[in-house]
Structure 1
Amino acid sequence: MSKPKTSANWRQLIRLVRETKPSKGLLAAALFLSIISTLVGLAIPLFTKNMVDSFSLTSLSLTQIVLMGVAFIVQAIAGGVGVYLLNRAGQKVVASLRDRLWKKLLVLPVSYYDNHETGETISRMTNDTGVVKGLISEHLTGFFTGILGVVGSISVLLYLDWKMTLMMLIVVPLAILILTPLGRQMHKISVGLQDETAGFTAVISRVLSEIRLVKASNAETVEYRNGQTGIEKLFRLGLKEGIVSAWVGPLIFFILMLLLVIIIGYGGARVASGTLTAGDLVAFILYLFQFVLPITQITNFFTQFQKAVGATERIAALLELGEEDHASGKPLDNAGRPLTLERVTFAYKAGETILDDVSFTMQPGKVTAIVGPSGSGKTTLFALLERFYPPTGGAIKLGEELIDAYSLPSWRSRIGYVSQESPLIAGTIRDNICYGLPHDVTDQELEQAARMAYADTFIHELPNGYETEVGERGVKLSGGQRQRIAIARALLRNPQILMLDEATSSLDSKSEIVVQQALNNLMQGRTTLVIAHRLSTVVDADQIVFLEKGKVTGIGTHEELFQTHALYREFAAQQLRIQEHRV
């Protein structure tokens, strides 16, 4: 079972590298120069043989000395330039691979991120691609030149003395017998190491991104233990890798010494009997090193190859995942039509229904409020309208057409979304307001959006105005300031469909008033869907949809539902009590 899988993984790695379209000319030049360096290296022992056999000060000619010097210089230059070119090729391959992964990550559906931690994905992007780069830029030359060195050395040795060469080659099966199991063990360790590295990166990413929650919850000790567990696992796997590496070096040294003893002992006897010259023996010893050292390079290549195979499995699995289709579908020029849900059903997992047979229509330019207990599917409804997930049943239509008929970028460009959290990116206020727009925004347009969002006043009070850095996730701004920037962003997009996950629910009274004024500006003339937590929003809505456990149990105005829907009446009464308490 394991052999076919390994073979498939080898092919998978080669296919993945080929798909990055590496420069064949660059690779050919690098390998050519490395081969030249190896061939020159193979010629040097022959020079040495002749020098030893006819050694005397008078026999040394200027030509021989110059040729030896030129040979060393050519070997050094060809080898150095070859290594650089191969490193360059490796860097281009990994850059292309990372480019493919980054493009893929941006078009993967939201469901992928629901099931995978961010740190694990980052590890695929950085650590695994780095392993592939190391194989190409550091070990590929050693593999090809190593094979050439081994074949060349054996060929010359057979020419010099075939008996002594055959005696030397007896050790090769022993080396293969010893090193092959170590290579398999290294593959298992490297796969485990990559998995644990991804898991550890995920822990670090999660903790550091929520460091305020960690500190506020006094969870430093708990998170330290979680991190320590990952560190300990990496340590143990690193030790195993070190043990395998520790065996490889001494074993190769043992083989080298064994060969050296055989050659010196047997060769010395041949020299003494006159059947072998001293120069031949010196050349044999030099070729021995040119035979054993390439074997070390080849061994290192296969060790790295095993690591790269493990990394490739994960990269390929990520690249083969289904993605959002941004290309198909027609452009949406006008979203000012009724938006209808027809018997929509949805479940994140089979058997766990979140929305069940939901049907209602949102009229253009009108406000629809979604009310209901927590967990009734209100936020999931927004996700379906954004097309983060397809419905598992039913249909969502704009006018008479399914919303799937429109291209994703075109559809989403018509939607403005303001949530309770109002997520911001690390950057300036200008960056956040203009985020995602395909065109340059003038200062006048920026000011107009900020003014309508009631954000211009606090922005001008900041030392750097629109160039003020907001910090990671906007931590340098208050909740009300973040909400107004999110509203300014939505205004600048000028959407026809607006979705509000009641943006004032977590604000103080003063901020709530300002943000509500900004939302009123934003809602003018737009088809608006609001997850309602405030009675004021519900009372002013043109239509209220009451959701209970994923089902629509009431649709109507505030007055109609107050008279006919017991749970809605309880909700409204509770809101009145909250308002009286706040007053």
Structure 2
Amino acid sequence: MSTTPQPTSIQGTEPSVIPAAPKGNWRSFLALIRQTNPPIPMLITALIMSIASTGVGLIIPLFTKNLVDGFSLDSLSFGQIALIAATFIIQTVASGLSIYLLNRIGQQVVAKLRDRLWRKLLDLPIPYYDKHRTGETISRLTNDTGVVKSLIAEHMTNFFTGIIAVIGSVVVLLYLDWQMTAVMLGVIPLAALFLVPLGRQMFHISKGLQEETASFTTLLTQVLSEIRLVKASNAESREYDSGKQAINSLFRFGLKEAKVQAMIAPLMFLVMMLLLVVIVGYGGMRVSSGALTAGELVAFILYLIQIVMPMGQITTFFTQFQKAIGATERIIDILDEKEEPQAGGVEVEQAQLPLAAHNLSFAYPSGEPILKQLSFRVEPGTVTAVVGPSGSGKTTLFSLFERFYTPTSGQITLGNRDIQDYSLHSWRSQFGYVSQESPLIAGTIRDNICYGMSREVTDEELRRAAEMAYADIFIRELPNGYLTEVGERGIKLSGGQRQRIAIARALLRNPRILMLDEATSSLDSKSEVVVQQALQNLMQGRTTLVIAHRLSTVVDADQILFVEKGVLTGAGTHEELLQTHKLYREFATQQLRLQEPGAFLGEDSLRDGAQADAGAAAGVSAP
């Protein structure tokens, strides 16, 4: 089966494949926005309202012109006053509707963009997260989309209304006096001569600023998520210095941005003042010569204001647009990443089949091989222990079984079928995984035990899973029972309590294949005994793979695989390896704490040692 990722469709959006377009320009930005399917009828309505509002606004200077040229109290009538009042009311209502609709469109576009990005991040494979820091990824979803939101929801409204106002004003001015209009338009190329290079400079500054913001977010995520380690290591000063460097870097980019903006604003003011001086001076000459009336000059100045005000908004839009292009480039980088193959594949109908590795090898893209030509077979319903020195590739092997990574060569089969042929969701639903860390989510104990379940879990099922995991013992003692909040990453619970909740979660899933990754290595002796009892309940009737340094698990395993530097150097029962594998015997003596002066210990002696360890942990003297 091909492992090419399938496009992910999200309600209301196109598939998450960006059409080929150069990154970092306006085409890629527009392509990204189009894929969010903005509501065209609403956009047209908003534009019509903008045109109506601006059109009405363009009439007001003409009223002013007539008032100035023929003003007298006798000339004012109730009809004229009512017409002016109606004009202002229509302009206000149309402008308000336009602003609301354009903001609504902007919010919808960005919400869909964030929805696509969030779905994409959940569908990306583990290797992506190996290469990218979590803080940077969070920054893409929050800060970069925030830049796009600011452009669409805030600045685009002013841009559309500003463009309409400028075009409408110029048209009316050409009608009033084309000569003065030509003089006014002659100043615009002078402004563009300065503003275009500044816009390009703003793009590069904004891109660097967003990169630094992502790095700062990464630092915050890393430090605050491990604040206990920071304090226990007296590393506050070190982390403060790291944070201060990031803050100073952001400050420097902020100053660069401020310098460019400080040049743009005065230049715009200079251009506008120059326009005003030219218009007033040249217009005054034409009024004195009789070529222009005083009312027309006043109207001209009012129209000039309607050009000047939007020009500042249009300039701000283009500055923000440069920022949005930089943000779009990084968003597209994520959307272009290959996803896990969510679609396709066959369902796992029978998981109680032999699980086998055939010449299995794996290496990270830029590293040395982790696993080299591993071949072994795990019979259904048996326990296989994977042991060996730290860094030999044991946890990586588990990741290959869960299809977090794809083998560099070789394959893993269930029965006679390559596991890559199975639907990813169906395959992973066969697994229960209990790790050394026992990760928990912020929420209640019930939330954590039921995490990932696609159906409603009854209270009876929940209690039964907790009882089999020996978690009900401490849960009943908590004031809120199963509704007790565990804190961020389960920090309010002990290691043994977190392990038992993880085991209860695995029991509730009722997996056919169980993987235990040093599930008791970080526990005290008393907690270990309880967790071991829970694990025995969990392992019954299931194909079990264990990474363990604990004596009882290794001794009782149906098969032991000894892995050294990614190579399988021994396979067999505990007795067989003690006789045939020198390093395993040394491993058993040191890490399994066998009281062996150098002579071989038989199975009875080893089991007695295991019982003595368990008895001591429970406070009972060994017989």
TM-score, length-scaled by structure 2: 0.91
Matches within 5 A, 1:88-237: 88-237=104-253
Which sits farther off after the overlay, 569-578 or 490-499? 569-578
Alignment pair present for 1:567 and 2:583: yes
Alignment pair present for 1:501 and 2:514: no
Which sits farther off after the overlay, 474-483 or 57-66? 57-66
Which sits farther off after the overlay, 547-556 or 287-296? 287-296
- Measure, in 2, the Cα distance between the counterparts of 1:105 and 1:279: 62
**1:85 partner letter:** L
Alignment pair present for 1:78 and 2:101: no
Q: Could you say which residue in structure 2 is the equivalent of 1:538?
A: 554
- Measure, in 1, the Cα distance between the counterparts of 2:198 and 2:543: 66
Matches within 5 A, 1:510-549: 510-549=526-565
Matches within 5 A, 1:230-249: 230-249=246-265
Partner SS state of residue 560, structure 1: helix
Q: Could you say which residue in structure 1 is the equivalent of 2:302?
A: 286
Alignment pair present for 1:17 and 2:36: no
- Measure, in 2, the Cα distance between the counterparts of 1:6 and 1:324: 25
Partner SS state of residue 81, structure 1: helix
* Percent identity for Structure 1 against Structure 2: 67
**1:567 partner letter:** L
CA displacement, residues 342-391 of structure 1 (integer Å, 9 cap, x when unaligned): 00000013451000000100000000011100010000000000000010
Matches within 5 A, 1:48-447: 48-447=64-463
Cα shift at 1:162? 1.4
Partner SS state of residue 157, structure 2: helix
Tell me if structure 2 keeps the 8 A contact 1:335–1:496. yes
Q: Could you say which residue in structure 1 is the equivalent of 2:566?
A: 550
**1:95 partner letter:** A
Pairing partner for 1:39 from 31, 55, 77: 55
Cα shift at 1:141? 2.5
Pairing partner for 2:472 from 456, 459, 462: 456
- Measure, in 1, the Cα distance between the counterparts of 2:138 and 2:302: 47
**1:74 partner letter:** I
Q: Could you say which residue in structure 1 is the equivalent of 2:500?
A: 484
Which sits farther off after the overlay, 531-540 or 450-459? 531-540
- Measure, in 2, the Cα distance between the counterparts of 1:369 and 1:87: 59
Cα shift at 1:147? 2.1
**1:263 partner letter:** I
CA displacement, residues 478-502 of structure 1 (integer Å, 9 cap, x when unaligned): 0110000000000000111000012
CA displacement, residues 139-159 of structure 1 (integer Å, 9 cap, x when unaligned): 222222222222221111111
Partner SS state of residue 461, structure 1: coil
CA displacement, residues 507-556 of structure 1 (integer Å, 9 cap, x when unaligned): 11111111000000001011000002112111101000000000000001
Structure 1 unaligned spans of 5+? none
CA RMSD after TM alignment:
1.5
Cα shift at 1:333? 2.1
- Measure, in 2, the Cα distance between the counterparts of 1:22 and 1:233: 37
- Measure, in 2, the Cα distance between the counterparts of 1:468 and 1:247: 57
Partner SS state of residue 370, structure 1: strand
- Measure, in 2, the Cα distance between the counterparts of 1:146 and 1:363: 73
- Measure, in 1, the Cα distance between the counterparts of 2:168 and 2:327: 33
- Measure, in 2, the Cα distance between the counterparts of 1:182 and 1:209: 40
CA displacement, residues 263-309 of structure 1 (integer Å, 9 cap, x when unaligned): 11111121112221100110111111112222222211111111111
Alignment pair present for 1:576 and 2:600: no
Cα shift at 1:242? 1.4
Q: Could you say which residue in structure 1 is the equivalent of 2:5?
A: none
- Measure, in 1, the Cα distance between the counterparts of 2:448 and 2:349: 25
Structure 2 unaligned spans of 5+? 1-19, 596-608, 617-623
- Measure, in 1, the Cα distance between the counterparts of 2:593 and 2:113: 58
- 1:211–1:7 Cα change, 3 Å: closer
Partner SS state of residue 576, structure 1: coil
**1:229 partner letter:** Q
- Measure, in 1, the Cα distance between the counterparts of 2:305 and 2:73: 27
- Measure, in 1, the Cα distance between the counterparts of 2:39 and 2:21: 29
CA displacement, residues 407-444 of structure 1 (integer Å, 9 cap, x when unaligned): 01111111000011110000000000000010000001
Q: How many residues align?
A: 580
Q: Detail structure 1 runs of 4+ shifted over 6 Å in the superposition.
A: 4-8, 578-582
CA displacement, residues 207-236 of structure 1 (integer Å, 9 cap, x when unaligned): 111111111111111111111111111111
Which sits farther off after the overlay, 518-527 or 292-301? 292-301
- Measure, in 2, the Cα distance between the counterparts of 1:35 and 1:130: 28
- Measure, in 2, the Cα distance between the counterparts of 1:261 and 1:342: 84
Cα shift at 1:577? 4.4
Cα shift at 1:100? 0.3
- Measure, in 2, the Cα distance between the counterparts of 1:211 and 1:134: 33
- 1:221–1:65 Cα change, 3 Å: same
Partner SS state of residue 482, structure 1: helix
Cα shift at 1:254? 1.1
